[in-house]
Structure 1
Amino acid sequence: MSADTRRIAHLDMDAFYASVELLRYPELRGQAVVIGGGRNATPEMLPDGSRRFSRLRDYAGRGVVTTSTYEARALGVFSAMGMMKAAQLAPDAILLPTDFDSYRHYSRLFKAAVAAFTTQIEDRGIDEIYIDLTDLPDDARTLGARMKQAVRDATGLTCSICIAPNKLLAKIGSELDKPDGLTILGADDLERRIWPLPARKVNGIGPKANEKLAALGIVTVGDVAAADPGLLQANFGRTYAAWLARIAQGEDERPVVVTSEPKSMSRETTFERDLHPRHDRAALSAAFTGLCVRVAEDLQRKGYVGRTVGIKLRFDDFRTVTRDLTLPSPTADSATIRRAATECLKRVTLDRRLRLLGVRVSTLGDEHQSVAPEPVQSELPFDSGE
C-alpha cells in the first residue's frame, strides 16, 4: 500500500500521570504539581476534610521527576529532571508520590476504549499508542474526534491525537496542539508545519545530535532537509545521515506492529547533557535503576518474563555498545533485572561521557514461567563508593 494512502494515528495521553492524580485531587487543577515523591509525599487528611500537600521545596534526596503538570512545565520542571534542581525552579509546587497501579489501570481503560474502533494498535508504553486507521470508513477528523471522546468517557482524561500518512509525522504531530489536540497532517503540510520545528522535535534526534546539528547551522527540520548530504555524512556517518535525509522529507515506511508476542521489551533514555561515569554517579545510578524498574513494570503489565537481560550505552562520540547476559531462570523482577544489567555494565570500559543508557529484556515467555527472585542488590560501576 502506498505511504500516502495510509492513515496512521499517534495517541498520546496529556501529562498522563499528573492528570490521573488530578482526578484524585481535583482541588489541584491549575496548579504546578510534580509527581515523583516517595510515601512521605502522600497528602495528609485534616480534621476539616481538607488535605495538606507536600511542597517541592521540602524534598531532600536524589530522586528524579516522573512527570509534571503543564503549569509546572511552564516553570521549567520536566520529567527525568533531578528533584533538587526542580525544587530550585519551582519550590512552591505541590509534590505527590507516584502510583503506578493507578496509572496502569487508566492505561488499560484508554486502550480498551480505542480497541472498540480497531485492533490495529501498536502499544508504545503506558500512555501512548499508534493506530492504523487506513481501513476504517470515516474521515480522519471524525475518527479522531470520536476516539478522543471515547477516551474521555472511559477515563475522564484528555489525549492528543495526530493522524498522518506515517508514524514519524503522527508522532511529531501529536505534540503540535497539546493538550487535548486533534491534528491532521498530510504530505502537503510538511513545509508549513514540520520544517519550521526545531530538529530536536524528531524522535531519534537527541540532545547531542541536536547540538552537533546546531554547530553546523542546522537548527530546524527544514534546515536538515536543505543540508548538504555530504556534510551530514561527514559528521554523523552514512547510516544516520541517510536517516536524517529521509525524516526531513517526512518519509517513514514503518508499519504499525500489532503482535501479542514481542521479542523483547526495552527502555532507554537520552540524557539532556552527557553524563560522566564518575562525576555524575548519582544521576546515572538513578536513571539506571529507573530503567530496570520500568522494564520490569512493562513485563508485568503484559504478562511476560524474560531470560536475557541486556544494556545499551551510547557515548559522547556516538559510539554504541551493547552487552547481554542470559539468566538461569526467566524473570520480571526489577531487582533481578538490575543485578543482571549491572553485570553487563561491568563488562564495558566506562572511559567517556554517556549520552544514552538503555536496558532490554528478551527471550520472553509467559509469566507463569517465573520463579521467586533472589534478594540481591548490585553495585553499579558508577555507584557512590565504587
Structure 2
Amino acid sequence: MKARRIAHLDMDAFYASVELLRYPELRGRPVVIGGRSTAQPQTGDDGVRRFTTLRTYAGRGVVTTSTYEARALGVFSAMGIMKAAQLAPEAVLLPADFDAYRHYSKLFKAAVTSIVPHIEDRGIDEIYIDLSEEPDDTLPLASRLKDAVKEATGLSCSIGVAPNKLLAKICSDLEKPNGLTILSHDDIPVRIGPLPVRKINGIGPKSNEKLASLGIRTVTELAHADLGFLQEHFGRSYSAWLHEAAHGIDDRPVETRSEPKSVSRETTFERNLHARQDRDALSGIFTALCTKVAEDLKRKGYVGKTIGIKLRYADFHTVTRDVTLPVPTGDAATIRRAAGECLRRVPLDQRLRLLGVRIGALSRPGDDPADLAPEQVQGELKFADQ
C-alpha cells in the first residue's frame, strides 16, 4: 500500500493579493481589506490614483484581511478597523470585492485540477490535494502545482505536503508566503513539536486558553500530557482527539465531492441601529441580505429548507433563530418571509450591531420529488430556537 501524501494548498493573503494585481502601485505597502465601499480609490485630474488610509476612517467595519506588511504592524483579519487604524494609520484601506475573489478562486482550482484531479474544496482560498496515487516525486509535483497557480492567476500560494490533512495544513503555514514544505512523521518532534497548540486546526481560542491554564502551550507538551488528565478537563471525545492530533494522527480522507452545509450573508453596521428608530434602514438591509442569499443559492445550484437569522446586539450578545419550510426554496421573497418570521421571535428592544441571514438543509433542485415552486409553498413552519 502506498504511503499517503496529502497536500494543503493555501493562497497567500488571497483577497489582498488579488487587489494588488489591480493596484500594483500598492505593493510593499500595508494594505487592509474591509470597511465601506466609499473606500474605493479615486483617480484625480492628473491621472494618479489616490487611496483612502486608515487614518481617515470612521465607522464600525471589520478587517477582512491584510497584506503581510500590515500584519507586521499587528493588523489581522476580524480586527475592528478603528483598532487597526491605531496600529497602522497610514495603511491603505480597500473595500472587499468578492466577485473578483471568486473569479480567481475558480482559476487557481482549475489550474490544480488540470494536473491532479483529487482535490477537496475547503473554501475560496484553500484546498486539500491527494497526491498518494501520483507517480511523480513530491517535490517536483508540488513545485509544478505552485507554478500552475502562478501562471493561471499571477498569485502565489503556499503548499504543505504531509502524511495526512492535519499535518499538511500545519506545514502549509510554516514558510509563508510562497512556501513549500514537505513533512514526514519523523519530522514532527522538530518541526511541529515546538509550535503553539493553537496551530493545530481544531484548537480554538477557548481550548487554547484552557490548555495554557493547565501548563500546556506547545504541541510537544500536549503530546506528553496524560490522556486521563486531559479527559478530566475536556471530556472523553475531545481529549482523545487532542491526544491523537498532538501525535500527528489523522485518518480523514480527502473528500473530493464535498457539499456545502449552508449559505449565509451577514453585515456589521457602521453604527448601532434600532429596530424602531431605524426601521427603514434595517428593512432595506434585511431584504438585501435575503436577495444575496438567493443569488448565492442560484449561482451554486442549490435550494434549502432551513432559514435562519443571526442578530448581534450592541453589548455583543448574539442570538439565532431558525425556521424549517415544508419544501426547499431558492426564492428571495420566500426566504425574506421566513426570515421575517424568525425576526419576530427575538427581542428588538436593544440596538443592533450585526444582522445575518442563513439557509441550510441544502439540496439540488428536483432532488426531492415533493419540491414545489416557491409560490406554491404552503403548510406548517417548524421552528427551532438556539
C-alpha contact 2:263 2:297 (8 A) present in aligned 1: no
Residue 269 of structure 2 aligns with which residue? none
Residue 364 of structure 1 aligns with which residue? 363
- Counterparts of 1:181 and 1:345, CA distance in 2: 50
Deviations 1:63-100 (A, max 9, x none): 21110000111111111111111111111110001111
Q: CA deviation at 1:46?
A: 1.2
Q: CA deviation at 1:13?
A: 0.2
Residue 226 of structure 2 aligns with which residue? 228
Q: Superposed, which structure 2 residues align to 1:24-63 within 5 Å?
A: 24-63=22-61
- Counterparts of 1:81 and 1:152, CA distance in 2: 29
Q: CA deviation at 1:344?
A: 9.1
Q: 1:300 to 1:81 in 2, by over 3 A?
A: farther
1:81 aligns with 2:67: no
- Counterparts of 1:333 and 1:225, CA distance in 2: 50
Q: CA deviation at 1:327?
A: 3.0
Q: CA deviation at 1:189?
A: 0.8
Residue 138 of structure 1 aligns with which residue? 136
- Counterparts of 1:102 and 1:131, CA distance in 2: 24
- Counterparts of 2:337 and 2:87, CA distance in 1: 32
Residue 166 of structure 2 aligns with which residue? 168
155-164 or 78-87, larger mean C-alpha shift = 78-87
- Counterparts of 1:8 and 1:242, CA distance in 2: 23
Q: Superposed, which structure 2 residues align to 1:337-356 within 5 Å?
A: 340=339, 343=342
Q: 1:20 to 1:294 in 2, by over 3 A?
A: farther
Give me the TM-score of the superposition, normalised by structure 1.
0.77
- Counterparts of 2:344 and 2:175, CA distance in 1: 40
Q: Which amino acid aligns with 2:342?
A: E
Q: CA deviation at 1:340?
A: 3.9
The percentage of counterpart residues that share the same residue type is 62
Deviations 1:75-130 (A, max 9, x none): 11111111111111111110001111100110000000001012211110100001
Residue 262 of structure 2 aligns with which residue? 265
Q: Which amino acid aligns with 2:146?
A: K
Q: Which amino acid aligns with 1:28?
A: L
Name the SS for the 1:80 alignment partner. Answer: coil
Name the SS for the 1:66 alignment partner. Answer: strand
Residue 249 of structure 2 aligns with which residue? 251
Q: Which amino acid aligns with 1:225?
A: A
- Counterparts of 1:230 and 1:181, CA distance in 2: 38
Q: 1:41 to 1:126 in 2, by over 3 A?
A: same
Q: Which amino acid aligns with 1:235?
A: H
Extract unaligned runs of 5+ from structure 1.
Answer: 269-288, 313-320, 349-356, 373-380, 382-386
Residue 271 of structure 1 aligns with which residue? none
Q: 1:104 to 1:335 in 2, by over 3 A?
A: farther
Residue 13 of structure 1 aligns with which residue? 11
Q: 1:114 to 1:337 in 2, by over 3 A?
A: farther
Name the SS for the 1:81 alignment partner. Answer: coil
Q: Which amino acid aligns with 2:12?
A: D
Residue 115 of structure 1 aligns with which residue? 113
C-alpha contact 1:323 1:345 (8 A) present in aligned 2: no
C-alpha contact 2:10 2:159 (8 A) present in aligned 1: yes
Out of 99, 102, 114, the position equivalent to 2:100 is: 102
- Counterparts of 2:216 and 2:122, CA distance in 1: 30
- Counterparts of 1:296 and 1:26, CA distance in 2: 34
Q: 1:38 to 1:311 in 2, by over 3 A?
A: closer
- Counterparts of 1:338 and 1:81, CA distance in 2: 33
Deviations 1:243-272 (A, max 9, x none): 000100101011110116x2623689xxxx
Q: CA deviation at 1:339?
A: 6.7
Aligned-residue CA RMSD (Å): 3.6
Q: 1:341 to 1:143 in 2, by over 3 A?
A: farther
Extract unaligned runs of 5+ from structure 2.
Answer: 266-285, 311-318, 348-355, 376-384
Deviations 1:264-290 (A, max 9, x none): 23689xxxxxxxxxxxxxxxxxxxx9x
